[in-house]
Amino acid sequence: MTRINLLVGGPTDLWPQELTENPLAIPGKWLSADRGTLRLLRLGIIPKIAVGDYDSLSPREFDQVQAQVADIRTAVTDKDDTDTELALVLALQEFHAQQVVIYGATGGRLDHFLDNLFMLLEARFLPFIERIKLVDKQNNFRFFNPGVHSIVSDPDKHYLGFGPLTAVKGLTLYDTKYHLRDADVAQPIMYASNQFTKRSATFSFRSGVVCVIQSSDEAN
């Protein structure tokens, strides 16, 4: 399985433990967006491709990036795509990733986080949405198209949330602590604070897109 990791420019204090303590052990190739490139280099990792307008870097910092990264894709500042979107396009189209794990996509500016969340509903990303995961210190976000799905419990996450991002038909939670049967949802909503009753949980729905979040109360 081809795994691509993306590091984007969100706050470092929200990075998960795997990234702060042992980043070199994370499997897969790395891409980076804008300031995420400099942060990745400081972790001792050279991305395969760095992309962005680099408006968050000083000239000296950008010189550091140019000195170490062989493939830099520079975008203009006034553009339709965000730097994260440009990196995600590369992961899916150039590397044909079967799994994309995005770090640094949450926290900080709320408009950036919401953009990183709702960009996945775009037509160009929607067919690949089940391959994409957002990870931070307290949360793992996964995304699902219609069907029957089973998810495995992350041992350090106590809570489980189901969030329709669009209108959804027939949402059923079979074996979580709190059940839901054949619910039709007209707008985005979050069914929060559910829990696993065993190592995995099964859910299904007939139309729409659902985000599933495993989370912990306090950052570890």
The domain that contains 9 carries what CATH number? Answer: 3.40.50.10240
Claim to verify: residue 127 and residue 161 sit in the same structural domain: no
Stated pTM of the model? 0.94
31-35, 53-57, 155-159: range with lowest mean pLDDT: 53-57
pLDDT attached to residue 109? 86
**Contact predicate 159/192, CB 8 Å:** yes
Claim to verify: residue 102 and residue 12 sit in the same structural domain: yes
DSSP state of 114: H
Claim to verify: residue 41 and residue 146 sit in the same structural domain: no
Residue 176: what are its φ and ψ, rounded to 5°?
-80, 175
pLDDT attached to residue 107? 86
Residue 107: what are its φ and ψ, rounded to 5°?
80, 175
Claim to verify: residue 107 and residue 155 sit in the same structural domain: no
**Sorting pLDDT into bands at 50, 70 and 90, what band is 56?**
confident
3-state secondary structure of 93: helix
Claim to verify: residue 142 and residue 169 sit in the same structural domain: yes
Claim to verify: residue 111 and residue 204 sit in the same structural domain: no
What is the longest distance spanned by two Cα atoms in the chain?
Answer: 57
Convert the pLDDT of each residue in 178-194 to its tens digit.
999 999 999 999 999 99
Claim to verify: residue 145 and residue 133 sit in the same structural domain: no
Final residue belonging to a domain, choices 72, 106, 137? 137
Domains in the chain, number:
2
Claim to verify: residue 156 and residue 189 sit in the same structural domain: yes
Looking at the chain, the whole-number percentage of residues with pLDDT higher than 70 is 99
Which of 45, 122, 46 has its CA nearest to residue 84? 122
Domain region containing 149:
138-220
Mean residue pLDDT across the chain: 93
Final residue belonging to a domain, choices 137, 160, 193? 137
At 73, list the tokens: 């894709």
pLDDT attached to residue 92? 97
Claim to verify: residue 106 and residue 214 sit in the same structural domain: no
Claim to verify: residue 98 and residue 49 sit in the same structural domain: yes
Which of 50, 41, 56 has its CA nearest to residue 90? 50
Claim to verify: residue 155 and residue 106 sit in the same structural domain: no
**Sorting pLDDT into bands at 50, 70 and 90, what band is 151?**
very high
Final residue belonging to a domain, choices 120, 137, 154? 137
Claim to verify: residue 120 and residue 168 sit in the same structural domain: no
